[in-house]
Amino acid sequence: MRKQKMDQDWIATARTLSEALPFLQRYTGSVVVVKFGGNAMGDDEAMAEFARDIVLMRQVGVNPVVVHGGGPMINDLLKRLNIESRFVRGKRVTDKATVEVVEMVLTGLVNKRIVQAIMDEGGRAVGLSGKDDDLIVCEPDDPELGFVGKPVEMNVQVLRDLFKAGIIPVVAPVATGRHATETYNVNGDTAAGAIAGALKADRLLLLTDVTGVKNAAGEVVTAMTPEDVHEMIANGTIAGGMIPKTETALKAIEDGVRAVVILDGRVPNACLLELFTELGAGSLIRTAAPPVRENR
């Protein structure tokens, strides 16, 4: 009985691989930018699973770029250092002391942990920040917020060089300014969108702690156009923290990204489900919404 179940499991696995073939072929050579954050970053098992998915993407010919956040880790170190945070309109003011902590945590602790996780799964990865090779050049997003940056110039050749070498870039959202002495903290979604746009990526995957964009009935909308997004923001269906995520998606599409997907990073193998299965995952936003999921 046990052998029969094992045989059935292997048959199901083989069938899944066979059904994935068209999607594997479709994404060969493509660029996929993945914004990684949320609860999965603090869980060793979830981190390992995410790393395994990224390595598999690279093994089948996809060029993934991982862009990560690290808010909880930053908050923890600020608290331990007795650095108080001040907020303007709900956004943290990033003064010089705070941006030094941000750079320390994101480019050090968090970035290298993700790099190590990818390497532990058999991949090759290099950690860098937006400051390396002037990957992301920023101007102040809002003078009242201090060193919070808005990307104004992108130099992504270093990422293309890493693709050619078979290396997965892992990018911390810390950027340089117009002057060499300036360091800016950049929202992780914003940084991922800017990188995806500069690379004209096939996909930008924004991993979140929610199932996707929901309609007024609370159901996940699986396919949307920019016009749909504008309408849902205007009528209040898209609200709160989902507004900046969808705005990032719209800017990325405007900059040349083929499609953006907002999906639940807590779901096992979320990235693989989106890229390599007929059903996909989460909410896909593109200029012309596909009539069926297999055309994603």
Residue 12 has a pLDDT of 59
The predicted model gives 231-235 an average pLDDT of 95
From CA 286, how far away is CA 223, in angstroms rounded? Answer: 8
The predicted model gives 35-50 an average pLDDT of 83
Domains in the chain: ranges and CATH: 41-50+64-186 (3.40.1160.10)
Q: Is the pLDDT of residue 156 over 60?
A: yes
From CA 34, how far away is CA 252, in angstroms rounded? Answer: 13
Q: Is the pLDDT of residue 179 over 90?
A: no
Q: Is the pLDDT of residue 203 over 80?
A: yes
| Residue 128, φ and ψ in degrees, nearest 5 | -150, 170
Sheet with 223-224, side-by-side order of all strands: 125-129, 168-172, 63-68, 31-36, 203-208, 259-264, 283-285, 223-224
Reduced to 3 states (helix: H, G, I; strand: E, B; else coil), residue 129 is: strand
Name the more confident of 69 and 10.
Answer: 69
The predicted model gives 142-165 an average pLDDT of 95
**Quick one: which of 212, 282, 228, 278 has its CA closest to 24?**
278
| pTM of the entire predicted model | 0.89
Q: Is the pLDDT of residue 5 over 80?
A: no
**In sequence order, what are the residues at sequence separation of 6 or more whose Cβ sits closer than 8 angstroms to the Cβ of residue 149?**
136, 138, 139, 140, 141, 175, 177, 184, 185, 186
Q: Is the pLDDT of residue 158 over 90?
A: yes
Asked if 252 contacts 204 with a C-beta cutoff of 8 angstroms, the reply is: yes
List, for residues 250-288, the tens digit of each pLDDT value. 999 999 999 999 999 888 889 998 888 877 788 999 987
Give the tokens for residue 143: 């003078």
Stretch (H or E) spanning 288: none
DSSP state of 107: I
Q: Is the dihedral of CA 239, 241, 246, 247 positive or negative?
A: positive
Q: Is the pLDDT of residue 293 over 50?
A: no
**Sequence-ordered alpha helix ranges (H) in 60-136:** 71-80, 96-104, 111-120
Bridging pattern class, strands 136-140 and 149-154: antiparallel
pLDDT tier at 230, thresholds 50, 70, 90: very high
